[in-house]
Amino acid sequence: MRIPRRALLASSALLAAPAVGQSDPRPQVSVAVQNLATSNTLEMLLEQSNVGTRIFRNYVEPLVDTDWTGDMSLLPGLATAWRRLDERVVEFDLREGVVFHDGSPFTAEDVVFSFGPERMWGGGGREVPASVPQTARQAFPAFERMEAVGPYRVRLVNSRPDPVQIGRMARSIAVIVPRGAFLAAPSFMEWARRPVGSGPYRIAEFRPDRLLVMEPHDAHWQGRPPLRRLRFLEVPEVSSRINMLISGEAEFATDIPPDQIRAIESDRRFEVAGGPINNTRYVVFNTAHPVLADPLVRRAMSHAIDREAIITALWEGRTSVPRGLQWEFYGEFYLRDVEAPRFDPAEARRLLRESSYRGQPIPYRCLNNYYTNQTATAQILVSGWRAVGLNVQLQMVENWGQILGGEPASRGVHDWSASAVVPDPSVQTVGSWGPGSAVWRRNQWRNAEFGALCEEFDSILDTPRRIAIRRRMLAIIEREDPAYAVLHRNANFTAKRREIGWRPAQSFFMDFRGRNWGA
Amino acid sequence: MVRFLLSRLLRAAVTIVLVVTFAFVVLRLSGDPAQIIMGADAPPEAVDAFRTAWGLDQPVWVQYFHYFGAIASGDLGRSMRDGREAIVLVAERIPATLALTVPALLIKLLLGIPAGIYAALHRNSAVDRALMVAAVAGFTVPSFVLGLLLVLVFAVQLGWLPSGGQESWRHAILPVATLGIGGAAVLARFTRSAMLEVLGQPYIRTASAKGLTWRAVVWSHALPNAAIPTVTIVGFMVGSLIAGAVVVESVFSWPGVGRLMVVAVANRDLAVVQCILLLVAATMVVANLTVDVLYGVLDPRLRTGIRRAGAG
């Protein structure tokens, strides 16, 4: 058994805490989080997760920023302006004077490299993890090339028209990295454990499953960051996170369940920030299951969900039922007259009588509180379904492999959540439910008309026509041939010291930039 | 003796192979690692590419023979999460775990054994009853409850100690105490029972009747005989040094082998889980082997039995 000496020496640094420069008057902040990163890396091409979303924007930046603590609209980021040249090409003016953490200047060459084969698509002379090109292709389905047209100007060229071409440049996967630092790393995975970016903080130390320390990047284009040190500590137990807050070891504790809010706020030193975010919890149907192949059964299931009861009993009324799978920041694509199917047990029973359902069991595979309140929500759902005559059988499983494993016909219902990342329904709806989605290709749910509408919705720029298509898509996927039943908007709660001026985002992202500190 | 050791070593090797085989099969039958690590949103092509890259598209028996072939050449595999060598990941965590379990073992021995002996020698006294009440409480309270209780008192209420993490020696106090108290309680109960049983034996009466002092009877006759069941428990505790703090490490966010195992199992990070299990099985087997040898040292009848077996 070979144990590298370096590893042993590194591990013998047990219990050692590095001293920090005490002359810097800026505060140090510790954030207790449930999970630092699911992939054990900080490279967003590998870390497409809610927990990755929480931290990424503090150390890397995309061309297009998002007003995270505001209305989620798009803002200039590493690009100061952009213009559409034609249906396939968008030109970006790059911000001058930006410096990466390694001291190198940001130029068009770095943008081209970040979207190039050596980092994103493979085949560029460096080995890229097998999953990366596939993930990138799903995020940028029409991407053809990124080309420099000057030291501070690039053009994004698509293979077909894409109405979300600019919005996709705000996604976490679209961050820009310095070419030199990337190529200096021995391998992609070495890079991924300690990436270099241009964000307000640089990675000082990353110990997977344990600790992430960031230090200020004082040359940041928005000015000196407000914190001397920003630490994210992985503390899996919620009670331990709260204890760390109360004992003064952390200034923030994340992922607080709603039933803990009153207890925390009973101490005047602390408050719980947060509320509904751009993420919706829903249950999804597998139409390969013989019972769920009948849309009447799925419609009945949707009408048998008492969404308000879930929100009142489990969320203390701190979130809301969305108008289907859409968010206000979709702007003109937000259809205010659309509602989630109403709770109507009588209608559910009527639909079941008309259906082919004769009491067959419907499996409902459920993880143990992967989502906040997941198990209790599942119990409420099952009880509502049973009340109208549906024989839904709750099956507690351990992981996503077990949720999606086995013969397709053996899977019935499972939980899921959906995030909106850009102010256009295309990324969420087409990306998660269209012909290119994992759901579609797993044959979990398909609808020919919906598929055709996705193709059109994703390839035209005519907004009124796209709104009409969007309306029809929602009618199909939520009412006529349901692929899912929305439950409630997800809410994210962060406990913190009351005197700290900091606003939560409508997302899992925790923004520690200057404009959100002391706010 | 050599044959005895060889037979024990052979059994140990078989045990380790069985443990690793069991883990290998169960981990692969209880969820697709590719889907778990890539997530439910991952494109099927990405999941397939991941499977191919890590050989998960091969039949299980092919993967099994590849795995054992690699072990034979000293390669314990790489983490599917971040590509690092599994042995490096595990080795990084061992000192952290030992920083808890070794001091905790000392507490168990230094508190548990004397308490058990004292309680047995003062059977039915107030001290005996008090010790046994404390011992029962100590080993019936789950470690996560005891840990949270200690945090509530010493970190949250009194503010004397940190509640979690691993930044200084002070961070180790509460997890060590949590592990130590529970284990000391178990040892106290076992030691008391063993002592009481021995003290009721005819040879103790004989030794007393021969005119030996009570101290000499206890030291020379009672303690060595009572040590046998206690050594069994201590051997188990020594065998648990690597993976015996899973719950406590989670409660105190202590980045040891236990936490790594929880995360690796949840993510089906196969090489890491298998590496930990191999290590744990080896530790337990070595501890058991040591206990077997100690039995022979402590009990002359077993030594005789070993010699007879060797002669036959």
Query: Which CATH number characterizes residue A194's domain?
Result: 3.40.190.10
Q: Which chain A residues are Cβ-neighbours of B44 within 8 angstroms?
A: 438, 441-442
Does A208 fall in a domain?
A: yes
Q: Which of A174, A203, A234 is the last residue of a domain?
A: A234
With CA atoms as reference, report the closest residue to A418 among A329, A317, A489.
A489
CB distance A432–B260 less than 8 Å?
no
Residues A39 and A164 in one domain: yes
**Contact A218/B at CB under 8 A:** no
Alpha-helix residue ranges (DSSP H) falling in A155-258: 179-184, 188-193, 238-246
How many structural domains compose chain A? 2
The helix or strand, by DSSP H or E, that contains position A430, with its residue range, turns out to be none
Q: Which residues in chain B have their CB less than 8 angstroms from residue A211's CB? A: 255
Looking at the structure, do residues A139 and A287 belong to the same domain, yes or no? no
Indicate if A324 and A187 belong to the same structural domain.
no
Instruction: Examine the fold and report which residue of A217, A234, A251 is the final residue of a domain before the chain moves on.
Output: A234
Based on the fold, state whether residues A230 and A291 are members of the same structural domain: no
- Which of A399, A442, A444 is the best substitution to test chain B (most B C-beta atoms within 10 A)? A399
From A211, A234, A257, give the residue that closes a domain.
Answer: A234
| Together in a domain, A189 and A288 | no
* A130: in domain: yes
**pLDDT average, residue stretch A51-60:** 91
Closest Cα in chain B to A46: B38
Query: Which pLDDT belongs to residue A6?
Result: 39
- Does the pLDDT at position A8 exceed 70? no
DSSP, collapsed to helix, strand or coil, labels residue A189 as helix
**Lowest mean pLDDT across A260-269, A452-461, A496-505, B29-38:** B29-38
CB–CB contacts below 8 A, A to B: 180
A258: in domain: no
Residue A331 forms part of a structural domain: yes
* Cα–Cα dist B312/B308, whole Å: 6
Residue with tokens 């719980």: A272
Q: Which among B31, B40, B252 is the nearest to A398, CB-wise?
A: B31
Q: Cβ contact (<8 Å) for A11 and B91?
A: yes
Residues A418 and A473 in one domain: yes
Q: List Cα–Cα distances, A244 to A16, B144, B252, in angstroms.
A: 19, 16, 10
Report whether pLDDT(A516) > 60: yes
Both A335 and A461 in a single domain?
Answer: yes
Q: What is the pLDDT of residue A448?
A: 97
Contacts of A189 in chain B (CB under 8 A): 82-84
| Tens digits of pLDDT across chain B (312 residues) | 677 778 878 888 888 888 888 888 888 887 788 888 877 777 777 788 888 888 888 888 899 989 888 888 888 899 988 888 999 999 999 999 999 999 999 999 999 999 999 999 998 899 999 999 999 988 889 888 999 999 999 998 898 999 888 888 999 999 999 999 989 999 999 999 999 998 888 988 898 888 888 888 888 888 888 888 888 888 888 888 887 788 899 889 899 999 999 889 888 888 999 999 988 888 888 888 888 878 777 776 666 655 554 443
| b/e code A140-179 from CB counts within 10 Å (16+ = b) | bbbbeebbbeeebbbbbbbeeebbbbbbbbbbbbbbbbbb
Whole-model pTM: value is 0.83
Residue A120 lies in a domain: yes
Query: In terms of domains, do A210 and A316 share one?
Result: no
B96·A14 Cβ contact <8 A: yes
Closest C-alpha among B98, B88, B255 to residue A9: B88
- Summarised one tens digit per residue, pLDDT across range A331-361 is 899 999 999 899 999 999 999 999 999 999 9
Domain residues for A397? Answer: 277-490
Would you call B250 and A236 a contact, using CB atoms and an 8 Å cutoff? yes
CB atoms within 10 A of CB A336: 8
Cross-chain Cβ contact B268/A399 below 8 Å: yes
When scoring B54, B76, B92 by the number of chain A Cβ atoms within 10 A, the one with the most, hence best to mutate, is B92
Mutate to test the interface with B, among A12, A33, A244, A370 (most CBs of B within 10 A): A244
A508 within some domain: no
Contact at CB, A243 and B168, closer than 8 angstroms: no
Which of A37, A55, A67, A355 lies closest to A209 in space, CA to CA? A37
Look over chain A and give the mean of its residue pLDDT values, rounded to a whole number: 91
Question: How does DSSP classify residue A368?
Answer: S
Do A240 and B166 lie within an 8 Å CB cutoff?
no
CB contacts, 8 Å: A12 with chain B: 95
Nearest to B99 among A14, A49, A234 (CB): A14
Going along chain B from its start, the domains and CATH numbers come out as: 31-75 (no CATH), 89-311 (1.10.3720.10)
Task: Examine the pLDDT at A1 and tell me if it is beyond 80.
Answer: no
Residue A238: pLDDT above 70? yes
Per-residue pLDDT, A349:
97
Q: So what's the pLDDT on residue B113?
A: 92
In one letter, which amino acid is B25? V
The contacts of residue A58 (CB under 8 Å, 6+ apart) are A199, A200, A201, A214, A230, A510, A511, A512, A513
Coil vs helix vs strand at B16 = helix
Residue A155 forms part of a structural domain: yes
Cβ of residue A41 closer than 8 Å to a chain B Cβ: yes
Q: Across the interface, which of B43, B94, B251 has its CB nearest the CB of A134?
A: B43
d(CA A12, CA B260): 17
Say if residue A439 is in the same domain as residue A345: yes
- Determine, for residues A249 and B164 on separate chains, whether the beta-carbon distance falls below 8 Å: yes
Among chain A residues, CA nearest to B47: A131
Q: Is residue A17 part of a domain?
A: no
Residue A260's CB is within 10 A of a number of other CB atoms, namely 17
Beta bridge partners of A394: A364
Asked whether residue A299 falls in the same domain as residue A426, the answer is: yes
ipTM exceeds 0.90: no
- A352 and A444 both lie in a single domain: yes
CB proximity A134 to B under 8 Å? yes
Say whether both A169 and A287 belong to one domain. no
Is A408 an 8 Å CB contact of chain B?
no
- Asked if residue A457 has pLDDT above 70, the reply is yes
